Amino acid sequence: MPFLAPGVWLWLLEGSMATGSSLTWQGSRTDGCGWAGTLYSALDRLRIDGLVEVDREEMVEGRLRRYYRLTPAGTKQLATEAKRVQANAATAFARLGLTRGVTG
């Protein structure tokens, strides 16, 4: 199971609310890995750090479903993470001699 940086979890929540099961599904569609084992501990850590919050809870078929969303601090952290990834990608492309990146 891959380690996922907090920015990945924030990216999956950007622009919407999501439950843990929907985040797992979105993540597995992204890279084909199952993330359930690391998801809930990551969400707890992000919540403690003030980057995500529980928007609401509801019972569905006898199980509690929590909907998470980014906080303003989470949105700011996501922007910082995106800039860092962009800078790292630019460095990698430059080292490969691909100053415009890769398309297609």
Is residue 83, in this structure, part of any structural domain at all?
A: yes
In a domain, 36, yes or no: yes
Instruction: Give the domain range for residue 59.
Output: 6-95
Residue 24: count other Cβ atoms within 10 Å of its Cβ.
20
Tell me if 103 is assigned to some domain. no
pLDDT at 97: 84
In a domain, 13, yes or no: yes
Instruction: Provide the pLDDT for residue 84.
Output: 87
Asked whether residue 37 is domain-assigned, the answer is yes
**What is the Cα–Cα distance from 81 to 30, expressed in whole angstroms?**
18
pLDDT tens-place string over residues 44-101: 888 999 999 999 999 989 988 888 889 999 999 988 988 988 888 888 888 888 876 6
Please check whether residue 101 lies inside any domain of the structure: no
CB atoms within 10 A of CB 74: 23
Using one digit for the tens of pLDDT, what is the confidence trace for 2-59?
444 556 667 677 777 676 766 665 655 555 454 555 777 888 888 999 999 999 999 9
- Residue 56: strand, helix, or coil: strand
* Per-residue pLDDT, 93: 85
Q: What is the pLDDT of residue 29?
A: 54
Q: What CATH number is associated with residue 60?
A: 1.10.10.10
- Report the number of secondary-structure helices (H) and strands (E) in the chain: 4, 3
Question: 3-class secondary structure for 59-98?
Answer: EECCEEEEEEEECHHHHHHHHHHHHHHHHHHHHHHHHCCC
Instruction: Give the number of domains in the chain.
Output: 1
